[in-house]
Amino acid sequence: MKIDIVTLFPEICRAPLSESIMKRAQEKGIVELHIHNLRDWTTDKHHVVDDAPFGGGQGMVMKPEPIFAAVEDLKKTSNPPSPGYGVAGVAITKASITA
C-alpha cells in the first residue's frame, strides 16, 4: 500500500511514522510511505501556501493552487487506484466527502 502525505511540516510527520507499527509495516514492505512538503508545488520565490481570506477577516486560508498541483503530480507518479477510489486508494463515499 502506497501512502502519500502532503504537509507543511514533513519533519514533524516523519518521527511518529517511523516508530512502532508503521515502522514495522514499512520494514516488511506492507506500507510504502512518502511524506511531501506542500511548498515544493508553489510557484513563487517565497513558497507561500496561504493567503488572506476573501472579503477580509481574521486568519489565513490555504491557496488551492499548490494543493491541486500536488495531487495532480502525485496522481501521475503513483499506481492508478481502482475505480471509486481516491489518490491514496481510499474509497470515496458520501460519508468521506462530507466528513
pLDDT for residue 77: 84
| Averaged pLDDT, groups of 10, the chain, 99 residues long | 93 91 93 94 94 90 95 83 49 46
What is the rounded distance in angstroms from the CA atom of residue 76 to the CA atom of residue 14? 23
Domain hosting residue 44, numbered range? 2-98
How many structural domains comprise the chain? 1
Confirm if 77 and 70 have CB atoms less than 8 A apart: no
What is the rounded distance in angstroms from the CA atom of residue 75 to the CA atom of residue 71? 6
CATH code (residue 23): 3.40.1280.10
Q: What is the pTM of this model?
A: 0.70
